[in-house]
């Protein structure tokens, strides 16, 4: 992944930035699925402007796509930004600077549903629901303090 492109959201008085970022990421997801093996595993995404302080956890107003120049050019040549052109400004594909710092970005998922954990425990160990509820209390739910994107995959 030696190149990148930044897609910046334009300010819009009607739509807040988190809503636009969710829509932009959903379009990216659909584009990656439609290009399949042509781009599969050759692109990454990050949110360099994310804000994670206090209660305002947001992805920010910039989506950065990382990858080989050919993969980024292929994606940008397709019409995946249709409908978002009024709300976004893609920059040209640029090489990663020589002294750039790198960071690992990955999906994090919390065990946020005690009810699901109870059903799994009961199914795996042959317990009745009451015993599973006793072993896994409601306080076992985990929450994360990270920005997130809301996505529905078809």
Active site residues: 29
Token pair 């781009």 is found at 39
Q: Which residues contact 31 (CB under 8 A, 6 or more apart)?
A: 75, 78, 80
């Amino acid at each position: 992944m030696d190149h990148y492109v930044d897609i910046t959201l334009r300010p819009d008085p009607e739509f807040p930035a988190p809503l636009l970022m969710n829509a932009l990421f959903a379009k990216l997801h659909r584009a990656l699925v439609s290009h399949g093996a042509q781009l599969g595993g050759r692109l990454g995404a990050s949110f360099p402007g994310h804000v994670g302080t206090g209660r305002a956890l947001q992805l920010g107003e910039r989506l950065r796509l990382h990858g080989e120049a050919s993969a980024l050019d292929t994606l940008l040549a397709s019409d995946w930004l249709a409908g978002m052109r009024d709300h976004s400004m893609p920059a040209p594909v640029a090489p990663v600077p020589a002294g750039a710092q790198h960071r690992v970005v990955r999906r994090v998922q919390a065990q946020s549903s005690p009810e699901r954990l109870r059903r799994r425990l009961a199914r795996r160990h042959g317990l009745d629901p009451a015993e599973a509820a006793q072993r896994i209390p409601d306080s076992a739910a985990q929450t994360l303090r990270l920005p997130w994107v809301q996505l529905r995959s078809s």
